[in-house]
Amino acid sequence: MRKRRIPRSLRPLLVVLAFTLAHGRAASAQEVLPPTPLGPEFHASVVTFKSDRGVDQTLVEVYVSVAHDQLAFTRAGEVFRADYDLNLRLIGPRGETVFDETTDGESLTPIFEETVAEDISRVQRFTFVVRPGEYELNLRLTDRNLGEFRQQKIDVHVPRYMENRLGISGILLADFLGESSPMLPAGAVVDRAGTQVFTRQGHSYIPNTRGIYANFAPSLLGYYEVYGFNPIRQTERDRLYKVEFYVNNDSGETILYYMIQHEKPGSASYNSVEMNIHDLRPGKYTMEVTVSDLGTGTSVSSGREFTVLESYLSLAYRDYDKAVRQLRYVASERELRVLRDAKDGERLYIFRSFWMSRDPTPATKRNEALIEYYRRIAYANEVFKIPQLEGWATDRGMVYITLGLPDYIERESFAAGSKPLEIWVYNSMRLSLLFVDEAGFGDFILQNRQEYMERVQWRLPPSRQTPY
């Protein structure tokens, strides 16, 4: 008999408490994640623009974000505070240091639950001008409260923007795009209710450094600049330029496309793009922007990769029956009946209301119960899937979703005269669950199901109110 111990990961206290209420034990979200190096995880996005210093100098902007759940917060009076150092070092083609800067970062919040939020980030911006060429960007982020650090390397291509020749900047992905106040100086950063809003060329934006969107998000947002329009205006076509927008999947197939024409505002234009990604399947994509000067017939393109993740609402939108079936581990029979009987025009409202009623911290932006539940479904689908069933619908998926990972698993491999089996042991519950692969194809069936049903409280905390 082989035994494999599964180490417990430290988890944010709030998530642990949410599931302890449900199951009587500390079943945590980070148990589903692979081990990571010491130091906070962070994300960076690099965008190039034409500078005002000539063709041999290109403006580079680097946005770096670190989520609250990656930092160690301490009490500082009436707020919680995390402090970190962020170093950016740009290495040239001959190994020389071209740019080196360290900045102090801090994140503040008066709400404890937000100290473990993975969707609340602090963003730092670095701006510098360098010669066109190939570079290596080295980033190092150190959590000052823990003394731990993490490093990241990015290969950066810095293009040359020629005078009087059509050119296009990099594409800056955003979570928010709008117009900036004309009273603000160029490049200003506005802090609104703890959220940094950056400005550039009359636009305000919140960068999306991860390049990740949910497929039920309102839109894919981007910002780009076009330079070097032909100044001649002899014909109608000389006055116009065309912009084509493509979204291609990882096979290069165009999934979305649209085209618009604008009148040239001068030698340059500063633009935003908004694309509906409602119907995109989860996966990796590239947004490509192609600009054509109709007067000269010249074209330039710029692209940016992004990832679409499954949203719980998108599943309800695309396959409502399946979305309701997935709630069988958390919803009561009455709630399931209400969800199944909902009319088409009410379904998304009732589905959303179901999860809102289970939000343990309704005063914050996050619904910890929802996030944890669908995190576990995603993990179960990855680890416990079999040819005829998705992982969440298997017996091991059911137990994992309702109890989390066991303290350890005993496995017996296939041998002559025996069947593969696993024993999941939960020490705090004094519970051992036996799974047997009856057919030998990976479908492990729970043998002591009655004991599991009798011993386990396998619902999340009941809703505070019934909104339907």
- Which tokens go with 305? 């990769």
By three-state DSSP, how is residue 292 classified?
A: strand
Report the pLDDT value the prediction gives residue 116, as an integer from 0 to 100.
81
Average pLDDT of the chain, as a whole number: 83
pLDDT at 194 over 60: no
Fold agreement between 47-161 and 165-309: yes
- CA 125, 129, 133: angle at the middle one, nearest 5? 110
pTM for the whole structure: 0.72
The domain defined by 47-161 folds into Immunoglobulin-like (2.60.40)
pLDDT at 44 over 50: yes
How many angstroms separate the Cα of 294 from the Cα of each of 161, 231, 267, 290, 412?
20, 12, 14, 12, 70
pLDDT at 468 over 60: no
How many angstroms separate the Cα of 360 from the Cα of each of 22, 112, 304, 460?
12, 13, 37, 10
Handedness of CA 153, 154, 155, 159 (dihedral sign): negative
DSSP 8-state class, residue 31: G
Using only C-alpha atoms, the chain has a radius of gyration, in whole angstroms, of 26
Q: For tokens 């009490």, name the residue.
A: 75
In this prediction, residues 182-200 reach a mean pLDDT of: 68
pLDDT at 446 over 90: yes
Cα 361 versus chain centre, distance? 21
**pLDDT band at residue 30 under the 50/70/90 scheme:** very low
pLDDT at 16 over 60: no
- Which tokens go with 149? 């650090």
Boundaries of every domain in the chain: 2-35+320-455, 47-161, 165-309
Residue 210: is it exposed, middle or buried by C-beta count within 10 angstroms (0-12/13-18/19+)? middle
pLDDT at 229 over 60: yes
Whether 295 contacts 268, CB under 8 Å: no
Q: What is the dihedral of CA 333, 338, 341, 342, to 10 degrees?
A: -150
Give residue 8's identity as a one-letter amino acid code.
R
In this prediction, residues 130-136 reach a mean pLDDT of: 97
Residue 259: is it exposed, middle or buried by C-beta count within 10 angstroms (0-12/13-18/19+)? exposed
pLDDT at 399 over 90: yes
The dihedral region occupied by 81, where left means phi > 0, alpha psi between -120 and 50, and beta the remainder, is beta
pLDDT at 464 over 60: no
- The half-sphere exposure of 445 on its side-chain side, counting CA atoms within 13 A, is 7
pLDDT at 54 over 60: yes
- Which tokens go with 288? 């490509």
CATH annotation of 165-309: 2.60.40.2550
By three-state DSSP, how is residue 229 classified?
A: coil
C-alpha–C-alpha distance, residues 335 and 139, integer Å: 49
Of the listed ranges 113-117, 222-226, 306-310, the one predicted with least confidence: 113-117
C-alpha–C-alpha distance, residues 161 and 169, integer Å: 9
**pLDDT band at residue 317 under the 50/70/90 scheme:** confident
Q: How many CB atoms lie within 10 A of CB 136?
A: 15
Residue 247: is it exposed, middle or buried by C-beta count within 10 angstroms (0-12/13-18/19+)? buried
**pLDDT band at residue 311 under the 50/70/90 scheme:** confident
Report the pLDDT value the prediction gives residue 5, as an integer from 0 to 100.
31
**pLDDT band at residue 33 under the 50/70/90 scheme:** very low
Nearest Cα residue to 182 out of 197, 198, 202, 196 = 202
C-alpha–C-alpha distance, residues 116 and 67, integer Å: 8
Report the pLDDT value the prediction gives residue 322, as an integer from 0 to 100.
94
Of the listed ranges 24-38, 101-115, 262-276, 376-390, the one predicted with least confidence: 24-38
pLDDT at 412 over 70: yes
Nearest Cα residue to 326 out of 385, 383, 391 = 391
End-to-end CA distance of the chain: 51
Whether 30 contacts 11, CB under 8 Å: yes
| One-character DSSP codes across 7-29 | PPPP--HHHHHHHHHHHSS---G
DSSP 8-state class, residue 389: B
**pLDDT band at residue 441 under the 50/70/90 scheme:** confident
pLDDT tens per residue across span 262-286: 999 988 999 999 998 877 888 899 9
pLDDT at 326 over 90: yes
In this prediction, residues 319-337 reach a mean pLDDT of: 93
